[in-house]
Amino acid sequence: MEKWFLSLSSVLVACSLTLNANPLIQSAKDNGLAPLPKNQKEVDKVLQEMGVKFSPFTEAKAELGKKLYFEPRLSKSGIISCNTCHNLGLGGTDGISAAVGHRWTENPHHLNSPTVYNSVLNASQFWDGRAGTLADQAKGPIEAEPEMATPAKLAVEKIASLPEYVNEFKKIYGKDGVTFDNIADAIANFERTLITPSRFDKFLEGDSKALTKAEQEGLQVFLDKGCAACHNGVNLGGTMQAFQVAGQYKFANLGDFKGDSNGMVKTPTLRNVAETAPYFHNGAIWSLNDAIQEMGSVQLGIEISQAEAEKIATFLRSLTGEKPEVIYPQLPISTDKTPKPEL
């Protein structure tokens, strides 16, 4: 029995060594790439490492936040919700170049809507990084006139007019109840559940067979070209980086966005990137291969051939992850006290 046990142990160790024998896995890790967290405790650990503060997660907060995420009455018109621009069925985006909001208003800076999937793992929120947490980010679109156009006071008035919401907020937030901060906090708690593990994560964890030969070849090109200099970490992006480092972006004049005060721009996550066209902050490029070649010129100062771009794109498609099942919630019925929509 003892010999059998030792033999089995040796087989398990050998299998483990085989899984981790691929030098590309170590190379990816050495370049700062990391697998997604598997649960909320691991999410907390990643956030702590990034220095991002977040309120304690609870399932009750997330369930309330899910309702609010789909709640169109948080907009002045009563027809726009968070899901309008960050559609969970469209890769967490809206599939158009520039976001469209209240009264069919195009984003005044011609900014593209980033994906909400895995957004909790971004070190910065918004293209100019002006928010450090999802809760702070959630407030912006609600109040912004070209987006949902609802001042904080009106947002609270709308939600507080619905008894079902009032009861939920009291159970979760106690005497504070419905406040604008708590509305944003609940939405953020739902959004932090939108993690999309992919085959690439299994690869990083040691399963060499999780990626095809072509995908591994694409990853090698991705690393060799220096793409991981900006697209790194658990989200392959999400940090503030200098833009137009080596050349001028050919659509730089579309919109007036120039980054933050130092010209820094949030590097978008590459997770699910095959589903989130169009690309760049102003949504000017629709082809993933074209976006890869443009990044080579603008950021790295190199020419990426069509063949190389296709190899990288093949790898990037492996980052398309499994989406969590989200059942559209039934929302409370409006009351006589609910402010009427304004078109």
231 is in an annotated binding site: yes
Pick from 58, 146, 60, 68: which is nearest to 106 by CA?
Answer: 146
CA angle 227, 232, 234 (to 5 degrees): 150
Residue 26's pLDDT band (cuts 50, 70, 90):
very high
Shared domain for 151 and 222, answered yes or no, is no
- Annotate 13-32 with DSSP letters as a single string: HHHHHHHT--HHHHHHHHTT
In a domain, 328, yes or no: no
Shared domain for 186 and 82, answered yes or no, is yes
Mean pLDDT to the nearest integer, 106-129: 96
pLDDT tens, residue by residue, 135-173: 999 999 999 999 999 999 999 999 999 999 999 999 999
**Domain, as residue range, for 217:** 23-38+197-319
d(CA 215, CA 204): 13
Q: Which two tokens stand for residue 76?
A: 């002045």
Shared domain for 76 and 182, answered yes or no, is yes
Shared domain for 64 and 136, answered yes or no, is yes
15 is in an annotated binding site: no
Looking at 192, 224, 244, which one is the last position of a domain?
Answer: 192
Pick from 61, 66, 78, 58: which is nearest to 161 by CA?
Answer: 78
102 is in an annotated binding site: yes
Shared domain for 176 and 216, answered yes or no, is no
Shared domain for 58 and 174, answered yes or no, is yes
In a domain, 88, yes or no: yes
In a domain, 83, yes or no: yes
Candidates 59, 143, 145, 147; catalytic one: 147
Shared domain for 187 and 250, answered yes or no, is no
Shared domain for 234 and 145, answered yes or no, is no
110 is in an annotated binding site: no
pLDDT tens, residue by residue, 226-277: 999 999 999 999 999 999 999 999 999 999 999 999 999 999 999 999 999 9
Shared domain for 155 and 173, answered yes or no, is yes
In a domain, 219, yes or no: yes
Shared domain for 49 and 29, answered yes or no, is no
Residue 310 is a catalytic residue: no
In a domain, 132, yes or no: yes
d(CA 301, CA 318): 26
What is the number of alpha carbons within 13 Å of residue 281 lying toward its C-beta?
A: 27
Shared domain for 79 and 204, answered yes or no, is no
Q: What is the largest CA-CA distance in the chain?
A: 78
CA angle 111, 117, 123 (to 5 degrees): 75
Shared domain for 237 and 313, answered yes or no, is yes
Pick from 152, 89, 85, 134: which is nearest to 328 by CA?
Answer: 89
CATH of the domain at 64: 1.10.760.10
In a domain, 102, yes or no: yes
> Residue 266: beta bridge partners?
240
d(CA 309, CA 287): 11
Looking at 192, 219, 245, which one is the last position of a domain?
Answer: 192
The total number of structural domains in the chain stands at: 2
230 is in an annotated binding site: yes
pTM metric for this prediction: 0.92
